[in-house]
Structures are given as C-alpha cells and as structure tokens.
Structure 1
Amino acid sequence: MKKYEAPGVYVTELNSFPNTVVQVPTSVAVFVGYTETAIVDGKDVTGIPVRISSMSEFEARFGVGPMFRFDFSLQDGKPALDLEEASRFNLHAAMGLFFENGGHGCWILSVGCYGAGEPVLVKSVEDFGEPVWRELAKLQEPSVIVIPDAVLLSSEDYKTVSNRCLAHCTDLQNRFAIVDVFDGERERTLDENDVISGKSGLRTLVAAEDMSFAAAYYPWLNTSHFGAGSITFENVSAGTRKAFFEHVGQETAIQANEARKAAFDKAVKSLEGDDISEEEKCTTHKIMRGLSKRYNELLSQAVKAVSAMPPSGALAGAYAATDAQDGVWKAPANLSLNSVVSPCVSISDAEQEDLNTPLDGKAVNAIRSFPERGNVVWGARTLDGNSSEWRYVNIRRTAIMLEQSIKAALDPFVFAPNAAPTWLMVKSVIENFLNGLWKQGALAGASSEDAYGVEVGLGTTMTGADVQAGCMNVVVKVSLLRPAEFIVLSFQQKVRKG
C-alpha cells in the first residue's frame, strides 16, 4: 500500500472484475501448399506464414491458379485432352472453396512458387520438410490445418507429409487436421487397390500415435470453381496443339459448311506469330467456340478434369461457418457444400458402413448427394473412430478450444502464491467461463453441476509435496455434447378401442 504523508483526498482505482477466460479462435485455418508467387510488400515470403482475410487478398499476395496443360490424343479413335499432372496445383482452388463455404480469416504458407505461364516447378516432399513445421509451430491462432497439395505427390510422399501433419497436431494439441484421401476421385474396388483399405489406401498410408486430431473425407468433389472460359486452346500443350487444331478443323459439322471451315482456318491462322495480344487470343477462342461443337466438347472435358478437387478446402470453410453460426461444439455435418456439383463417387448406405465403422477404427466421413438436399457432409468422425472419448470431430475440437482457452487464462497465475486465495481465484475464473458456455448450450447437463466441475486445492488435487514442488494441479471436468449420429424411429400400430 502506498504511504500517504500529506493530508488530502487520494483516488485509487480498484479492479471490479476478476480475470476472465477468453475463448480462443476455433475457425482459423492454415493452408500449406504451392502458389503462383509469394510476395508481400516486395519481400519474398516463401516458407513464411502470412495471414489473409479474403480471396482478393490471397491473389494479391500469392497470385492466381496454375496454367493447366493438356496433351491432345486420339484414344481408340476418340479425341481426348489429358491433363499433365505436373501442371496441377490445388491450393488456389482450395482457397476458393474455403471462402465460398463460409471461411474468413486464415493463414497461408507457400512451400514453393510455380510462376506464371507453363509451370516448371517440380513438386517434392522436401518442400514440406522440417522448416515448414517449425514455422507452423510458432503460430498460436490456427486451429485447423489443410494441405490440399499433398495428394499431388507420390503415395509414399503423401504418406510422409500426412503423417508429419498428424504428428504436428498431436505434439501441439491445439489444432486439427483435415485429411484428403489419396486418389479420392476413384471409386472403391474393395481389393488391394482400394483407395481406403488397399495397400496404398488411406488406412494403410495414414497412421499416428493419436488419430483423434484429424478427420478424413471421401470422395473428392466435382466443383464449379472453374468456369467454361477457364480452359482455352492455350492450355493445350505446344507439342500437340497443331494436331488438336487439325482434328477440330476436320470435324463433320465444320466440313459440312465450307464457310464455317474457312472461318475456323482463318482463326487458327491468326494465332501464328509471337506478338499476339491477350485480346486477340480471347477473340479467337470465342470464334472457335461459336464454330466448333467438338472444340467445346473437348474443352468441357478438360474443365471437368481440373474441377475434381480434394474436399479439404471446402470442409475448412464449412468448419468455420458452423463455428460462427452454432459454435465449435456443433458437429460440422449434415451441411450442404457450396460450389459443388456432385461427389466424384456416389455412395450408398451399405457402402458407407465400412467407411463409418471399420474394424481398425480409422473412420472416413462420407460426402453424399441426396435428392432435394444437394451435396451433404454425411459424417462427423475423427480418424480415431473406435475411441469412446474422441470419436467425434466436435468433441475433439471443443476439447482443444477449452484446453487452450483455459491454458491462456492461467498464464497470469504463473509464479503467483500457491495458496488458497490463488486457488479460489483460479476456480472462480474457470467456472465463470464454463458457466457461460453451458448457458450457450455448449455443455450437456440439466444443471451447471451436471455440465462441469472444477477442483483445485490442497487435499483434493494437490498434496503437500506438490505445493512444495511449486505445482498447482487443476482438474476440470466437462460434459461434452455428442451428435445424434443414429436416430432410430420405432412405429407400432395402436389397437383400436371399441
């Protein structure tokens, strides 16, 4: 207390409110992958996490999507445009799905830049090495981690990156991974080549000490992220473009009309030379679309190929939307996904049984299409599906929120006297926080005593030796909400009276 020596009136401000627990963010994702560029304020930020809040901000700092390349070929006499996998990168499209499904603020960590024009960057597991995980470990805000480009590596490299991601989440215990299924656009074969249970399937490739910090979703999604004009003749590789034009030019519909054939040839001729402007290319593309049905068919085929996307970006957005509307304690399931045309694979109830309740416990959440309901996330299980405690995504993510929120609130008590006044204050702070959550419907229980309990003190959570050693043990018990995953309706005929 201040010593007063001169007569007078002195004003002293006292704290009216005790320390409080502030709920940590739950919907902030961190995306790891390849970008076109990585420049912020003139500085290269490759390998450095950057926070963004919109798609326009992402493109301003990390550029646009890759220039997809297709090889034209005739397969059994049928024309086809085959996507060159080296030109594919998923992060930009995943960001679009994230924002379109309710995402907002997030972090981006670029592991490499493919640049404008034809990509020359070779994807490598080394790009996802230890420096990436050290940088991610420094971030306190993100609670969800997404690596949409992992599925573009080889199966062994995918295994390395995915398992390192799960280990990262387990070590920090403050974030949750959304895992994409390798080759998840393929139908299941239920043999050694099965994308879920086969030798190179998810359940074989992904394994961690604690599987409850991640969830997987199947299948991939046919999205509407890429419009009809996103692929043009420019995406056809230089080596096969001549054959592509020759085939399209010989199309029956054009041959039947000499004027149209001449117009098409003139459009192709206009592309000769090295000084063709983007406007001229755009005009030529429009002319070809109006002249040739085959040209449109092949480009539509190409758009469909690049539109098949792993679902992690959309799910990260759905997590954020659910957290904002209902709270992290609501299971992020039974949700319709935006910018999704259909799942790449149609799944029946019988086919979902093995995904939901496998013998090894590695549950995979299905994304299904239902009449009049659209494309719906039809599962909310972690990869630790056999666990009675951590089976559900919302249970694990709510526990992460509670642990991290309370942990941050107790930091000011480090080095405080390990005595009854401190214990009482700690108990009060935590109980006030949990009581607020219970009133919001985050905890189960008809009364607060049923919903939560906090214990701290000598003789209850600590011994004299603990106090001597400087250890203050706090025990928090909560009753978390479990989703109604199985709703059973029982019908019985009522016997008529009289």
Structure 2
Amino acid sequence: MKKYEAPGVYIVEKNSYPAQVVEVATDVPIFIGYTERAVQQGKDVTGVPVRVTSMNEFELWFGKAPAARFDFSLRAGEPVLELEDSSRFILHSAIRLFRENGGSACWVVSVGCYGVGEPGIAKSAEHFSDAIWQEVAQQQEPSMLVIPEAVLLPSPEDYKAVWDRGLAHCAETRRRFAIVDVFNGDTKRTYDEADVISGKTGLRNMLSAEDLSFAAAYYPWVNTALHVASDITFDNISAGTRKAFFDYIRQDTDARTNEAQKTALEKALDLAVDDETSDAEKARGVQSLRVLSKRYKDLIDHAVAALNVMPPSSALAGAYAMTDTRTGVWEAPANIGLLSVVSPCVDISDAEQDDLNAPLDGKAVNAIRSFPARGTLVWGARTLDANSQDWRYVNVRRTAIMLEQSIKAALDQFVFSPNTAPTCRTIKLSIESFLNALWIRGAFTGTSSEEAYRVDVGLGTTMTAIDVEAGTMNVVVQVSLLRPAEFLVLPFRLQVQTKPD
C-alpha cells in the first residue's frame, strides 16, 4: 500500500473484475503443401508460415494453380486422357475448397515451388523437414493442421512419414487438431491386404502416433465443382501426345457429311490450336469445339472430372471453421453439407460404415456420404482414438484444446506472482468468469453452473505446504463437455386394440 504523508484526498481505483480469460481462435487452419512461388514483399518465404485472409492474398504471394498435363492415348481402341501425377498439385484448389465451405483466415507453408508452366519439382516427404515443423510449432494462432498433398506423395511410406510427424506435432504442442485424408481414398474398399483403411498400407496400419485423439480421418475423397471445361485447352495436353489428340479430334471433321458443320468444326479446331490467334479467339474456338465435337467434349469432361477429385480435408477445415463461428467449437462438425462438392467418390452403405465408425483398434474413420435430397454430408464426428471414453469425439477434444490454451495464456501473467490466497482467489475468479460465459453460450452440460464446471486452487485444496515451498501452484479445472447425440433410438410399440366404452 502506498504511504501517504501529505494531508489531502487521494483517489485509489480498484478493479471490480478479475483479469479476463480470452478464448483462443479455433477456426484457423495451417495448410502445408506446394505452391507456384513463395514470395512476400520480395522475400522468399519457402518453409515460412504466412497468414492469408483471402484468395487474392494467396495468389499474390503463392501464385496460381499448376498447369495440369494430360497424356492422350488409345487403349483397346478407346481414347483416354490421363492426368500426369507429376503435374498434380492441389494446395491452390484446397484453399479454394476451404473458403467455399466457410473458412476465412488461414496460414500457409510452402514446402516447395512447382514454378510457372511446367511443374519443376518432384513431390517428396523430404520437403517436410524438421525445419518446417519447427516453424509451424512457433505459430500460436493456427488450431488445425491440414496437409492435403500428403496423399499425392509417391508412396504410402512417404505419406506415413509426413503424418507420423504431423500427428506427433499436434500431440506435443496440444494446440491444434489434425484433419487426415486417406491415402488412395478415391478407391473403393476391398477388405483385404490392399484395403485403403485396414490393409497392409491402409490408414489404420500406417498411423501410429501415441495420442490419436488429436486427429480425425475422413473417407472417401470427393468429386468437386472447382474446375470447369474452360480450364483445359490444347496446351494442357502433353507435347508428346498433343498431335495424336489433335488427329483424333480431326476425325470428327472427316466423319461429317454436312458440309456446313464440317467447315464450322474445322474452323473451330484451327482457332483452338493456332498459336497466332488471340486468347479471345482461342476461347471462342474451344467453346465451339465443345458444341460441334462430341469426341472433344467427352474427353475434356473426363479430364475435368479427374481434376475435380479432391481429398476432403480442406473442405472439412472450412466446415469446422463455419461451425465454430456459427455456434462454437463445442458443436460436433457433422451432419453438415459440403459446398462445391458434387458427390463422394465412393458410395458407403450403413453396413459399410459400421466398420469405419467402430473398429476394434479404435481408429475410427468418419464417413462422407450422399443422401437423397440432402446432398453430400459429413456423417461422423469421431477422433482416431474412438475407444477412449474421454476423447472419442472431435468436438470434445477441440473444446478441451480451446479451454487449455485459453486458460494457459491467461495464467502467464501470474508466473512469479506470490503463491498466496489473494493470487489463488484472483485466478479462480478469472477462470470461473470465463467458464460461466461459455456455459451461458451452451458450451457445457448442466442446468446450473455448479453442474457445468468447477475450479479449485489454493492451499489445502489443490496444494500442500510442500507445493508452495517448491513454487508450485496447482489449478484444477473440471468441465462437463457436450457429446453429440450420435445414435438416436426411437422405440415404437404397437398398442393392443381395446373395446370402446
């Protein structure tokens, strides 16, 4: 207390409220993958997390989507346009899908650049080095980890190496939750050694982190509407097969009997492939080809469909963010329609979902399913540690992360404060005020605050004299977290008919 010596009136303000605990962000993911470039304000930011708030910002610093390359061939007389794996990079599309589904701000880490035009880098697990993870660990804001391009790495072993490190990172930092895609998740399950979920190189056998409650996996991949026919031109056909593709389309012209249609088709084809024509004329020629040539239209539609196949993690990150903003992190991110998604790549029945949802090893995989008149929905909310009664559900683990990190950040100011009853009382009031505000918003179960949460701290309750002498203050927080109504059972009984009075 200040010592007063001169006579007079002294004003002393006293705070009526304890220090405030601020809820940390839960709707901000960090994406890791390949970009066209990585330059911010003239500085190379490869391997450096950069905060992005719009698609324009992403393209300004990280560039545009790669120019996909397709190889044309005839197989058993049937034409095929096959997407080259070396030209397939999807982080740009993943950011779009994230934003389409409700996401806003995110962080981006470029692990390598595919350059302008022809991609100039081969995907490798080595690009996800320890230095990358050290940079990621230093970021406080991101609450989700998304690595959509892990499924495009050359082998299951590369996928495993990246996600083993990613899951360990989430468990070590206790700050973020991982959304995992299934390797080869666009293929149907076979229930043998080659099965994408339980096979030798399936998801359950590849993920081996000690604490899997910090992650959730989703199956299958999805067919999106991100790319359209105008995104593909003759320039996307590989140089070695472009002539064969051109000759195949030209056969449509030779087969025409109507001279007017034949002339129109030849003109459209010339416009589309002539390097000396303007971009507008080329676009007009390509548009005409889609109308006049069934061969061209069918092949391009097939190519667009291949580009639109995406692992679902980025869409789920957007759905998580949308749910957090609309209600709160305590609501399960399930029974949600995915936007810009046409359908799942694999149809899953109720019986097939049984094994996904409740396997013996507890590594549950959430299903993405299509329902008549309802669209494509996220139909599961379990973590990869589904055998745990405490951490079975995504919203329970993510709520716990939010509470732990929010309270930890608020208590930093009390480090080195006297370990006395007034300090304990201030801490208790701060946390109780924070939890009470969350309870009012519906974050906890319980008809009263006493049923919803409890905070204990102090000598004789959470600490002994030995703890105080050792400089330890123990704060015990108990909360009653919400669990989703995963199974709704409606018992029906037929009433026996009785005689009227």
TM-score (norm 2): 0.96
Deviation by residue 1:353-377 (Cα, 9 ceiling, x = unmatched): 0000011110000000001111000
Matches within 5 A, 1:378-389: 378-389=379-390
Q: Which amino acid aligns with 1:37?
A: R
Look up the match of 2:143: 143
Q: Which amino acid aligns with 2:81?
A: L
In 2, the alpha carbon distance for the partners of 1:124 and 1:459 equals: 56
Tell me the CA shift for residue 12 of structure 1: 3.8
Tell me the CA shift for residue 172 of structure 1: 0.2
Q: 1:337 to 1:138 in 2, by over 3 A?
A: same
Deviation by residue 1:387-412 (Cα, 9 ceiling, x = unmatched): 11100000000000010111111111
In 2, the alpha carbon distance for the partners of 1:12 and 1:339 equals: 59
Look up the match of 1:39: 39
Matches within 5 A, 1:38-77: 38-77=38-77
Matches within 5 A, 1:130-209: 130-153=130-153, 154-209=155-210
CA contact (8 A) 1:254 1:260 kept: no
CA contact (8 A) 1:225 1:307 kept: yes
Look up the match of 2:285: 284
In 1, the alpha carbon distance for the partners of 2:176 and 2:314 equals: 16
In 2, the alpha carbon distance for the partners of 1:292 and 1:235 equals: 18
Deviation by residue 1:174-219 (Cα, 9 ceiling, x = unmatched): 1000000000000001111111011111111111010000000000
In 1, the alpha carbon distance for the partners of 2:6 and 2:258 equals: 107
CA contact (8 A) 1:254 1:292 kept: no
The answer on 1:93 being equivalent to 2:81 is no
Q: 1:428 to 1:45 in 2, by over 3 A?
A: same
Q: Which amino acid aligns with 1:218?
A: Y
In 2, the alpha carbon distance for the partners of 1:446 and 1:271 equals: 68
Look up the match of 2:486: 485
Q: 1:339 to 1:270 in 2, by over 3 A?
A: closer
In 2, the alpha carbon distance for the partners of 1:242 and 1:50 equals: 42
Look up the match of 1:442: 443
RMSD after superposition = 1.6
Judge which range, 187-196 or 228-237, deviates more.
228-237
The answer on 1:317 being equivalent to 2:318 is yes
Tell me the CA shift for residue 40 of structure 1: 1.4
Q: 1:491 to 1:270 in 2, by over 3 A?
A: closer
Look up the match of 1:84: 84
Q: Which amino acid aligns with 1:240?
A: T
1:255 partner SS: coil
1:74 partner SS: strand
Tell me the CA shift for residue 276 of structure 1: 5.2
Look up the match of 1:293: 294
Q: 1:194 to 1:380 in 2, by over 3 A?
A: same
Q: Size of the alignment, in residue pairs?
A: 498
Look up the match of 2:428: 427
Tell me the CA shift for residue 273 of structure 1: 7.0
CA contact (8 A) 2:253 2:265 kept: no
In 2, the alpha carbon distance for the partners of 1:292 and 1:108 equals: 41
Q: 1:253 to 1:473 in 2, by over 3 A?
A: farther
TM-score (norm 1): 0.97
Tell me the CA shift for residue 6 of structure 1: 4.8
Look up the match of 1:407: 408
Q: Which amino acid aligns with 1:388?
A: Q
- Alignment gaps of 5+ in structure 2: none
1:454 partner SS: strand
- Equivalent pairs: percent with the same residue? 64
CA contact (8 A) 1:254 1:291 kept: no
Tell me the CA shift for residue 20 of structure 1: 1.3
In 1, the alpha carbon distance for the partners of 2:215 and 2:365 equals: 10
CA contact (8 A) 2:36 2:63 kept: yes
CA contact (8 A) 1:73 1:81 kept: yes
In 2, the alpha carbon distance for the partners of 1:268 and 1:19 equals: 71
Tell me the CA shift for residue 4 of structure 1: 4.5
CA contact (8 A) 1:314 1:337 kept: yes
In 2, the alpha carbon distance for the partners of 1:251 and 1:50 equals: 49
Judge which range, 450-459 or 213-222, deviates more.
450-459
Tell me the CA shift for residue 442 of structure 1: 0.6
Look up the match of 2:129: 129
